[in-house]
Each structure stands twice: as C-alpha cells, then as structure tokens.
Amino acid sequence: MCYRQWEKTMEVGIIELDIQHRNLLYIIGLLEDVLKEGNYTKQAKRILREFDNFIRYHFKTEEDMFIKYGYSDQEHIDTHNEILAKLDKLDKSNCDKKCLNALLKLGKFLFDEHTVKMDQKFADYLKSLES
C-alpha cells in the first residue's frame, strides 16, 4: 500500500506519462512493502533494478515529449539528471535496508517534489497549446 493515492489532479494529460507516473507510485508501494516485511535480500536487488530501469526510461520518455511538443525547460532536465546521479550513487551490489530506505526517500522526493510539481508545468504548457 503506497503512502499516496493517485488523484486526477496529478495527471499531465498524456496517457503514456500518466501511466508511468502511476507506475512510480506502484513501485514506491512495493518498496514500502519490502521494508515493512524486512525481506531485503531476496527482493531488494530486483526492485532496485526495476526502479533504476523505470526512472531512466521515464525521464527519456518525458524528454522526448519535450522535444516533440517544443517544450524548453533546462531546470526540469537538470533535476532529472540530479535524480539519476543520486541513483548512480547507490551501491547496487549490496542493496540492504539502508539502500532501500535511500531508494524510498528518492522515490518519494521524485513524486512529491517533481512529478506533482515540475511535471505539472509541462502539463500546463500542453494545455496552453490547446487554447
């Protein structure tokens, strides 16, 4: 069970991105469950790999959309890169409780400070194209 529930106000209006953002909440929920169950060794590496792949794929999808829709926001791209740098710093060979907690913190930061804030600026831009 994730700490946040998806709400319509979180949508950016592009179905592919909205599905990915929902997926982010799902992965955060998985992380929370693993931490609660204390079953780190079995699932930690798999979740870290999934999370890592997911974030890279998601940022690429988003940045491709920026180009497609003529959206320019260097601060947004810089934030993606900062998050990737934090992800790179995690020791993937020894993903213990500490590592999973760091990953959970990063996931929550990504959702609360980026997805529902910075990504919404892109959503506003897309809406302005329609009017």
Asked if residue 104 lies in contact with residue 28, where contact means CB atoms within 8 angstroms, the answer is yes
**Of residues 57-116, those binding Fe ion (CB under 5 A):** 62, 115
Q: Between 23 and 43, name the residue whose CB sits nearer to Fe ion.
A: 23
Answer for which of 43, 119, 121, 124 binds Fe ion (CB under 5 A) is 119
Q: Cα angle at 130 between 125 and 131, to 5 degrees?
A: 100
CB of 118 to Fe ion, least distance (A): 6
Interface mask toward Fe ion for 24-53; x: CB under 5 A: ------------------------------
Alpha carbon distances (Å) from 120 to 18, 87, 112, 116, 129: 11, 23, 11, 6, 14
The answer to whether residue 14 forms part of the interface with Fe ion (CB under 5 A) is no
Rounded distance between C-alpha atoms, residue 63 and residue 65, angstroms: 5
Contacting positions for Fe ion (CB under 5 A): 62, 115, 119
